């Protein structure tokens, strides 16, 4: 360690003060409802190499550990003091930006004429243009539908405003003054960072600051490795899905319209490291759920579950990107976790949440203190109607629809919310009813929905709302786990799946699936029941996925799903992968009919598409998963996904615990 054990602790507190002050300044002065209600903003300090060394713990949505900052730092180099960069471009920022409403800003922090760190911040702005208000829609098929793209630009040059940048952003938003307010808030926050870091360097000296930065990251890395070493060394596999869409035919049969999106993780732990191999994960998809990671192995949206796991066991652990240093990853190019430039991405949270569950599923196999997953969704309902008196369209503030958390060692799951949306606040029902013409008939726990077990999962919520007028539109985004239940762990039972029902208990009762948008007449009732958390059993028994998932696994065996993914990613030109994958899947699904997908069915479909079925197995380029051969951090970080190791002949991933 370079620092004195005293100065290190002092500077750790001082750095924390800088990022928290930035965050409080943004929270106080920003306009965005996402900041005020859902804390969807963030601040951090990073090293010149782009590693986060300080981030707030309790203020914002806490998605800062593993933020890849190197690309934006390089994008505008060289810098002058007072430069502030701006971008919302996922492709140009190497995975820093994951969807367009997040406006990221950064500033070099100079001490004695030399850059010793960068301050970063982002705000989820209310609207950045594009085809729909708020800029986010599942149905977007092209990033250009999602709004204005801002490649890295200077919004301030040496402290001087580039007014054209502000004007350009404002002109391309439906809420220009809000966006300007959000940008100003970030500028103010970043300037604070420079002032405070200068004060710190004045008191303690530049070299002490640099030493402390390095030591804090090293300490986090060291402690994270030690925690990884508490896991049983080995490889653990888990597959989960973002649900697809099925159409119910008149004869009662179901026809797949959108395939489920397969997320496959093989987590290998040992020797203080963890390798996240996403081989077998779906090619990028046509819907706007692609997750731009820039191929970064410690990307914040991949590492979140592990970072929280570290923090949960040691709340004193330095909260910085040292926590992701022990991580390497294989993120197959063209997969939904490392998509091509231009892949639509507004609702990438759906994939992010499911990856958390994949990690929880792997940890459950590797740890003797297993935990069950939560309900796995963060849905938001907002209600719009036309005010009869004024003729104006009014939209209520979004009501979060979250489900229970999973059972934990020594504790049952929490009801009504989980770690995925744990920072969300609900809207008081009194406020909702005075804003829009509805009557909330029930708002309570969904009793019995948590998975069974010695530590049962938390219950979901029941929200039942009656419309009091015609033409009241509900927009519900983010409902998930409507088929595939939050799984039970170690003998625990699965949480109940979610369900949204129109006019329950009447002849017109109808299952609304994901809902999306639905317009109600006076007297219509919408009932949403969110999933319960998975149950944690007493140790005997593996995972319990529930009937829907188990029958899907029987219908389309995992090894065949894996072959399909490999065939598309390995043989189809990258620009066509999403469409070909979709078409192939639907063809296979139809061909299987009431039966199951067999090797013959798969091969026939692949051949018809001009793909070579024989080439599929074992030929998929993957990175070497062995941790001992992983490259040391600093050298190849960000490149792991591009490394093509020699073909590995191994068993196809199967579902952990049932294998």
Partner 1 sequence: MSARYRLGVDVGGTFTDIVLADASTGELRTDKVPSDAGQPARAVIAGVTKMLAVSGVEPGQIEYFSHGQTFALNTLLQRTGARVGLLVTRGFPDLLSIGRLRLSDPIDYFTGPRRPLVDPTDVREITERLRADGSLVTPIDPDQVREAVAALVADGVEAVAVAFLHSHRFGHHEAQVADIIAEALPGLPVACSSRLWPEEKEYERATVAVLAAHVGRALGDYLQYLSSELRALGLDCPMHITKSNGGVTSIDSHPREFLRTAVETLLSGPASGVAGTMRVAATAGVDQFITMDMGGTSVDCAIVDGRIPYSTESEIGEFPLIIPSVEVSSIGAGGGSVIRVDETGVLKVGPRSAGAHPGPSCYGRGGTEPTLTDAYVVCGYIDPADFASGAVTIDTDRARTALEPLAVKLGLTVEALAEAAVAVATAMMHSQLIPLCAQHGVDPAGMTLIAYGGAGPVQAALLAAALKMPEVLIPNSPGTLCAYGALATDMRVDLVSPVGGTVTDAELADGWDDLQRRAEQWYAQQDHRLHPDVRITRWADVQLSGQSFTLPITLSEDDISVKALREAFTGAYLKAYAVDPGDADLDVRCLRLTLAASAFLPEPVFAGGRSISGTPHRVVEDGEPVAASIYRRPLLPIGAVMQGPAVIPAPDTSIFVPSGCTARVDQHGNLRITVSLGGSHA
Residues 455-474 that bind partner 1 (CB under 8 A): 458, 461, 464, 468
| The residue to which tokens 């629809």 are assigned | 401
What Cα–Cα distance (Å) separates residue 558 from each residue in 257, 262, 541? 20, 10, 21
Q: How far apart are CA 542 and CA 540, in angstroms?
A: 7
| CB nearer to partner 1: pick between 81 and 205 | 205
Task: Select the residue interacting with partner 1 from 315, 391, 635, 646 (CB under 8 A).
Answer: 315
**Which residues lie across from 120 on neighbouring strands?**
44, 106
Strands (DSSP E) along 331-408, which ranges? 378-386, 393-395, 399-402
Task: Select the residue interacting with partner 1 from 79, 122, 419, 487 (CB under 8 A).
Answer: 419
Does residue 441 bind partner 1 (CB under 8 A)? yes
Q: Look at residues 283, 291, 145 and name the one whose alpha carbon lies nearest to residue 573.
A: 283
* Smallest distance from partner 1 to CB 333, Å: 31
Q: How far apart are CA 266 and CA 659, in angstroms?
A: 13
Task: Select the residue interacting with partner 1 from 99, 154, 191, 408 (CB under 8 A).
Answer: 408
Does residue 219 bind partner 1 (CB under 8 A)? yes
Q: How far apart are CA 364 and CA 366, in angstroms?
A: 6
* Smallest distance from partner 1 to CB 360, Å: 9
Does residue 522 bind partner 1 (CB under 8 A)? no
From 131-139, 150-158, 160-168, 308-316, span contacting partner 1 (CB under 8 A): 308-316
Its sign, for the CA torsion 21, 24, 25, 26, is positive
Task: Select the residue interacting with partner 1 from 104, 423, 474, 484 (CB under 8 A).
Answer: 423
Q: Transcribe 228-269 into DSSP letters.
A: HTTSPSEEEEEEEEE--EEEEPTTS-EEEEEPPEEEEEEEEE
Question: CA-based angle 305:310:312, to the nearest 5?
Answer: 90
* Smallest distance from partner 1 to CB 474, Å: 17
* Smallest distance from partner 1 to CB 441, Å: 5
Residues 612-641 touching partner 1, rule: CB under 8 A, are: none
| CB nearer to partner 1: pick between 95 and 322 | 322
Q: How far apart are CA 604 and CA 542, in angstroms?
A: 35
DSSP 8-class letter at 525: E
Q: How far apart are CA 15 and CA 200, in angstroms?
A: 9
| CB nearer to partner 1: pick between 242 and 461 | 461
Size of the site for partner 1 (CB under 8 A): 89
Task: Select the residue interacting with partner 1 from 80, 439, 575, 645 (CB under 8 A).
Answer: 439
**Both ends of the chain: CA-CA distance in Å?**
45
* Smallest distance from partner 1 to CB 113, Å: 19
Residues 6-45 touching partner 1, rule: CB under 8 A, are: 6, 8-11, 13-14, 16-17, 20-21, 23-25, 27-31, 33, 36-37
Does residue 445 bind partner 1 (CB under 8 A)? yes
Tokens standing for 196? 């405070």
Does residue 510 bind partner 1 (CB under 8 A)? no
Task: Select the residue interacting with partner 1 from 164, 248, 255, 431 (CB under 8 A).
Answer: 431
Q: How far apart are CA 93 and CA 184, in angstroms?
A: 21
Does residue 110 bind partner 1 (CB under 8 A)? no
Does residue 609 bind partner 1 (CB under 8 A)? no
* Smallest distance from partner 1 to CB 642, Å: 31
Encoded one letter per residue, x for contact with partner 1 by CB under 8 A and - for no contact, window 364-383 reads -------x------------
* Smallest distance from partner 1 to CB 546, Å: 22
Q: How far apart are CA 248 and CA 242, in angstroms?
A: 19
Q: What is the dihedral of CA 391, 135, 22, 51, to 10 degrees?
A: 170
From 253-261, 441-449, 559-567, 638-646, span contacting partner 1 (CB under 8 A): 441-449
Q: Which burial class, exposed, middle or buried, applies to 559 when counting CB atoms under 10 A from its CB (0-12, 13-18, 19+)?
A: middle
Does residue 142 bind partner 1 (CB under 8 A)? no
* Smallest distance from partner 1 to CB 492, Å: 16
């Amino acid at each position: 360690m370079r620092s004195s054990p005293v100065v290190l602790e002092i500077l750790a507190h001082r750095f924390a003060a800088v990022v928290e002050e930035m965050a409080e300044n943004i929270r106080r002065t920003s306009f965005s409802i996402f900041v005020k209600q859902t804390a969807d903003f963030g601040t951090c300090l990073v090293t010149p190499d782009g590693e986060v060394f300080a981030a707030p713990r309790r203020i914002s949505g806490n998605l800062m550990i593993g933020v890849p900052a190197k690309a934006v730092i390089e994008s505008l180099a060289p810098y002058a003091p007072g430069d502030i960069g701006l971008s919302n471009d996922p492709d140009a920022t190497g995975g820093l930006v994951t969807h367009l409403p997040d406006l990221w800003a950064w500033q070099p922090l100079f001490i004695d004429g030399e850059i010793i760190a960068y301050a970063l911040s982002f705000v989820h702005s209310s609207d950045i243009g594009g085809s729909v208000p708020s800029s986010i829609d599942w149905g977007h098929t092209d990033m250009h539908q999602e709004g204005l793209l801002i490649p890295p630009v200077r919004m301030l040059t040496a402290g001087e405003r580039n007014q054209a940048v502000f004007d350009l952003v404002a002109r391309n938003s439906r809420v220009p003054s809000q966006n300007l307010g959000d940008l100003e808030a970030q500028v103010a926050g970043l300037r604070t960072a420079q002032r405070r870091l200068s004060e710190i360097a004045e008191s303690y000296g530049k070299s002490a600051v640099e030493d402390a930065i390095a030591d804090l990251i090293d300490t986090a890395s060291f402690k994270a490795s030690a925690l990884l070493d508490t896991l049983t060394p080995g490889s653990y596999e888990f597959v989960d899905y973002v649900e697809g869409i099925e159409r119910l035919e008149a004869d009662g049969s179901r026809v797949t319209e959108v395939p489920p999106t397969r997320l496959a993780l093989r987590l290998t732990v040992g020797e203080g490291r963890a390798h996240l191999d996403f081989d077998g994960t779906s090619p990028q998809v046509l819907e706007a759920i692609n997750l731009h990671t820039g191929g970064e192995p410690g990307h914040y949206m991949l590492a979140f579950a592990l970072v929280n796991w570290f923090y949960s066991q040691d709340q004193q652990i330095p909260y910085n990107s040292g926590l992701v240093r022990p991580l390497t990853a294989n993120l197959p190019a063209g997969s939904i976790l490392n998509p091509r430039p231009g892949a639509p991405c507004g609702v990438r949270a759906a994939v992010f949440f499911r990856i958390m569950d994949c990690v929880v599923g792997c940890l459950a196999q590797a740890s003797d203190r297993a935990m069950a997953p939560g309900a796995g969704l963060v849905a938001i309902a907002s209600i719009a109607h036309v005010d009869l008196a004024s003729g104006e369209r009014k939209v209520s503030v979004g009501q979060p629809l979250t489900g229970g958390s999973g059972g934990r060692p020594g504790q049952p799951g929490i009801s009504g919310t989980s770690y995925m949306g744990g920072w969300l606040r609900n809207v008081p029902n009194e406020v909702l009813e005075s804003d829009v013409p509805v009557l909330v008939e029930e708002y309570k726990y969904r009793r019995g929905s948590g998975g069974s077990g010695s530590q049962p999962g938390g219950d979901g919520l029941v929200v039942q709302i009656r419309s009091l007028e015609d033409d009241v539109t509900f927009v519900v985004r983010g409902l998930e786990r409507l088929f595939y239940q939050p799984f039970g762990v170690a003998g625990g039972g699965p949480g109940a799946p979610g369900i949204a029902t129109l006019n329950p208990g009447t002849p017109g009762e109808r299952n609304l699936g994901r809902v999306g948008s639905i317009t109600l007449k006076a007297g219509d009732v919408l009932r949403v029941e969110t999933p319960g958390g998975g149950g944690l059993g007493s140790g005997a028994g593996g995972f319990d996925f529930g009937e829907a998932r188990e029958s899907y696994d029987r219908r389309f065996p995992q090894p065949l799903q894996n072959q399909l993914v490999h065939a598309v990613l390995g043989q189809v030109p990258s620009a066509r992968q999403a469409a070909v994958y979709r078409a192939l899947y639907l063809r296979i699904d139809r061909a299987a009919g009431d039966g199951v997908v067999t090797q013959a069915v798969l091969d026939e479909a692949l051949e018809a598409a001009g793909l070579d079925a024989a080439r599929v197995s074992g030929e998929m380029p993957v990175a070497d998963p062995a941790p001992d051969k992983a490259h040391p951090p600093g050298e190849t970080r960000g490149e792991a996904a591009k490394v093509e190791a020699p073909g590995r002949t191994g068993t196809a991933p199967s579902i952990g615990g049932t294998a």
